[in-house]
Amino acid sequence: MTSRYRVEYALKTHRRDQFIEWIKGLLAVPFVLYSQPQGVFEGQDGNLLLQTREEAHRRYSEILRDVELMIDDHIVHQNDSQNPFPSKLKLLVPSIGPFFTRLPLEAAFKLQDRKRYISSRRFVSPSFNDIRLILNTAQIMAVTTHGSLQLATFDGDVTLYDDGQSLEPNSPVIPRLIDLLRKNVKIGIVTAAGYTTAERYYSRLHGLLNHIANSTELTSIQKKSLIIMGGEANYLFEFDTTAEHLLRPVPMNEWLTPEMATWSEKDITSLLDVAEVALQDCIKSLNLPATLMRKDRAVGIIPLNPEIRIPRESLEETVLVVQKILELSTAGRSRRVPFCAFNGGRDVFVDIGDKSWGVTVCQRWFSAAATTGDGLDEGKSFIKGENTLHVGDQFLSAGANDFRARSVGTTAWIASPAETVDLLDELADLMDKKMV
């Protein structure tokens, strides 16, 4: 249901992506000028409607080509350490971050326009979702046609399977992930679910794990090209056909990066203690039907009963309150231990580290494993950001744990497992064309 309440809520600053909103504003101008909504009532002939559609398509394409060139200029600026001046794009969109590849936005728009008929619409202007999908297509074009995809990482809930569910054997995502492995693309599932045992991850991912184990089209090396990074960046499991639950827990000393190895247990405990108190205060002040859950590297609140749905506003209020308290605390100001406070849809958790660290571990692990057979090796090069694609559903600036993955690799923002399937189909098509 669409309502004024939902529209106004979606416009809150913490729920907006400034880059997408900026592009949306640019595309609104040709929509107003060329949409011809009166044609519905005046009965315009087909030729005029075709001309209108073609003109809108041309103007949308031109605008996205101009944005594409601005991104190219931004990349030049970000790669020039001697240049103290910001790019034009940085001045127009101050929150813009680094780009690991150029984005062929014009070509991506033309592909999405053939699917979504954006230029044909007369009452609905190019939307947030239209632009999000155009950016996704441009990014996978960049890492395939114009680059080489070596690592694909995925969020779990809402990306590979519905929230709170599991990756079942009949999931359409599975054969597409198998296809990536067959093409020698490494896969990391980087999830906020923080389990210390392989059994718990097997229960969530059994459909994929069993399929890989029983596959006759994958080599033994390709089968080992799957890892699970749990708790954002706290527990690593490697696929192993000989393990009881098809996953081998990897000891921390084998995968911690040098930076992560400096995070002391004292600092971790201190930060989680502050977060725990803040979460308890939120339970009281917001009268939340929730209980506290403390883990060794995370703390959060979960509903008292699995059937209870805590209001989204309460979850986001909790995230923002806890995040600000942590940032202003002694433990947070020291910046010795990074953290991520996020809204999981049904709960709120504060994890040690975030997905930028989780994706980084995947980049380092696979490069080292390919060279040394196992573990990390400081003397080796690692998979680069331009060869990495992280797919997730949470990229808003607050309460979204996929957001920080943007700092270490390219990303694709999806909204459901069905969109993940569509994205993987696009990716496979582009990779197949490149191989021909």
- pLDDT attached to residue 5: 40
To the nearest 10 degrees (0 to 180), the angle between helices 18-34 and 128-144 is 110
- pLDDT attached to residue 400: 58
3-state DSSP assignment of residue 260: helix
Residues 174-196 have a mean pLDDT of: 96
- pLDDT attached to residue 313: 93
- Whether pLDDT at 257 is above 60: yes
- pLDDT attached to residue 240: 97
283 closest CA partner among 306, 317, 323: 317
Whether 355 and 404 have beta carbons less than 8 Å apart is answered as yes
Active site residue 155: yes
- pLDDT attached to residue 6: 42
- pLDDT attached to residue 177: 98
Q: How far is CA 249 from the centre of its chain?
A: 24
From the list 17, 113, 130, 155, the catalytic residue is: 155
355 closest CA partner among 407, 397, 315: 407
391 closest CA partner among 140, 162, 129: 140
Report residue 36 as tokens.
């011809």
Whether 106 and 61 have beta carbons less than 8 Å apart is answered as yes
Question: How confident is the model over 57-78, as pLDDT tens digits?
Answer: 999 999 999 999 999 999 999 9
Please report where in the chains the tokens 């127009």 appear, as a residue.
92
Whether 274 and 325 have beta carbons less than 8 Å apart is answered as yes
- Whether pLDDT at 317 is above 70: yes
Q: What angle do CA 226, 420, 116 make, to 5 degrees?
A: 155
Q: How confident is residue 369, by pLDDT bands cut at 50, 70 and 90?
A: low
Q: How confident is residue 11, by pLDDT bands cut at 50, 70 and 90?
A: very low
- How many Å apart are CA 214 and CA 145, to the nearest integer? 32
- pLDDT attached to residue 1: 39
Residues 351-357 have a mean pLDDT of: 94
Q: Which spans in 79-172 are helix H?
A: 88-92, 105-116, 128-144
In the predicted model, what is the mean pLDDT of the chain?
Answer: 90
Question: How confident is the model over 31-54, as pLDDT tens digits?
Answer: 988 776 655 555 556 677 788 889
What are the residues whose beta carbons fall under 8 Å from the beta carbon of 329, sequence distance 6 or more? 271, 274
Question: How confident is the model over 147-179, as pLDDT tens digits?
Answer: 899 999 999 999 999 988 999 999 999 999 999
- pLDDT attached to residue 41: 54
- How many Å apart are CA 150 and CA 148, to the nearest integer? 6
Whether 316 and 343 have beta carbons less than 8 Å apart is answered as yes
3-state DSSP assignment of residue 3: coil
The region that residue 21 occupies, defined by phi over 0 for left and psi between -120 and 50 for alpha, beta otherwise, is: alpha
| Beta partners for residue 22, in sequence order | none
- Whether pLDDT at 3 is above 60: no
The torsion angles phi and psi of 235, rounded to 5 degrees, stand at -140, 125
Residue 320 burial (CB count, 10 A): 16
252 closest CA partner among 267, 237, 265: 237
Active site residue 374: no
129 closest CA partner among 429, 407, 418: 418
Whether 418 and 410 have beta carbons less than 8 Å apart is answered as no
Q: How confident is residue 381, by pLDDT bands cut at 50, 70 and 90?
A: confident
- pLDDT attached to residue 8: 44
Residues 110-137 have a mean pLDDT of: 95
Q: How confident is residue 141, by pLDDT bands cut at 50, 70 and 90?
A: very high
- Whether pLDDT at 365 is above 80: yes
From the list 157, 240, 347, 351, the catalytic residue is: 157
Residues 268-283 have a mean pLDDT of: 96
Flag the least confident range among 241-245, 255-259, 292-296, 331-335. Answer: 331-335
Choice between 369 and 288, residue whose per-residue pLDDT is larger: 288
Q: What is the DSSP string of 105-116?
A: HHHHHHHHHHHH
- Whether pLDDT at 206 is above 70: yes
Q: pLDDT > 70: what percent of the chain? A: 90
Residue 294 C-beta-side C-alpha neighbours within 13 Å: 13
- Whether pLDDT at 376 is above 90: no
Choice between 377 and 306, residue whose per-residue pLDDT is larger: 306
